Amino acid sequence: MLMSIATLIRNTTWKCGKIERRVVTYLQRRSQRWGSAQTPVMDIMQHFEVSGKQKSEFLEAMRRLEKRNIIRISWM
């Protein structure tokens, strides 16, 4: 999952947790600034400076967003 690209599909944070909201907001702002809603997962993790237990919580949040069809994670 670390060598993959996250793509924002829907800009909604309804019933999302704190981490999910931060990820969706990051992808939304990136899309507004540079015109691309696609971002490598490693870049997102470096932006939020996650490590250790936070890393597993972050990856779980990304999986929940994908399950709810808010983002799409595609392999490189």
Q: What is the residue-level pLDDT of the chain in tens, covering all 76 positions?
A: 668 999 999 988 888 899 999 999 999 999 888 887 789 999 999 999 998 889 999 999 999 999 999 999 998 7
Euclidean distance between the first and final Cα of the chain, in Å? 10
Query: 19: Cβ–Cβ under 8 A, 6 or more apart, which residues?
Result: 57, 58, 61
> Which strands sit side by side in the sheet containing 38-40, from one edge to the other?
38-40, 4-8, 71-75
Confirm if 61 and 17 have CB atoms less than 8 A apart: yes
Amino acid at 31: S
